[in-house]
Amino acid sequence: MMKARFMSEVLVGRRVGRCALASVLMSATLMLGIVGAGGTAHAASAAAVSPEALEKGASLFVKNCIMCHERGMEHPGTAALSYLYGKGKGALADRDNLTPDFVRYFVRNGRGLMPAFRIGELNDEELKVLAEYLSAGPHPATPAK
């Protein structure tokens, strides 16, 4: 259990409260899956990601994610995360506690109503850039559609 808690704190970058933490990662199995699939987790910061990578990440976010994860409860991903974390806390672009491995895990494995994304539609290189972009959040200016 201690191991699970430690990992969850690493994965979410030690920046969420206890309640949110408990709901972010539900089981040790899940957490082990993330680490096993993605290696050592680390939080990214905007400063650590080049402007070019951020721009590319933003473009990938718009192309692949925004239909479900744009701000607003009409977007099912945002609504699902709002029900989980609280109203106004569901938009991915507003998150400041995502890590690259966390993003990569859920993109490849899905969660709740979100199906996994195939490498054929979003390859590992693109996913890496997307994950770094989201981990460098929040991104107050939602990219244009």
Partner 1 sequence: MESVLPPGIKREHFAALLADLKKVVGREFVFTDPQWELPAYNDAYLTTPAELHQPSAAVAPANVEELQRVLEVARHYKAPLWTISTGKNFAYGGPAPRKAGYIVLDLKRMNRILEVNEKHGYAVVEPGVSYMDLYRHLQKIGSKLWVDCAAPGWGGVLPNMTEHGVGYTPYGDHVTMQCGMEVMLADGTLVQTGMGALPGSQTNHLYKYGLGPSVDGLFTQSNFGVVTKIGMWLMPEPPGYRPYMVTFEKESDLHAITEVLRPLKVNMLIPAVAMTVEMLWEAAVQVTRRDYYTGKGPIPESVRKKMRSDLKIGAWNFYGALYGPPPMMDNTWEVIHDAFASIPGAKFYFDEDRAKDDVAWQYRKKLGAGIPNMTEYNVMNWIPNGAHMDFSPISPVTGADATKQYELIRDRCNKAGFDYCGEFAVGWRDMHHIFCLTFDRNDAKQKARANKLFGELVDAAAAAGYGEYRTHVDFMDRIAGTYNWNDSALLRMHEKVKDVVDPSGILSPGKMGIWPKSMRKGKA
Nearer to partner 1, 48 or 73 (CB): 73
Nearer to partner 1, 29 or 51 (CB): 29
Nearer to partner 1, 95 or 104 (CB): 104
Strand partners, 111: 114
- Is 62:144 a contact under the CB 8 Å cutoff? yes
CA distance 133 to 139: 9
**Contact residues: partner 1, CB under 8 A:** 36-37, 67-68, 73-77, 79-80, 83, 108-110, 112-121, 123, 145
**Least distance from partner 1 to the Cβ atom of residue 72, Å:** 8
**Least distance from partner 1 to the Cβ atom of residue 15, Å:** 25
Map tokens 């699970």 to a residue: 4
CA distance 60 to 66: 9
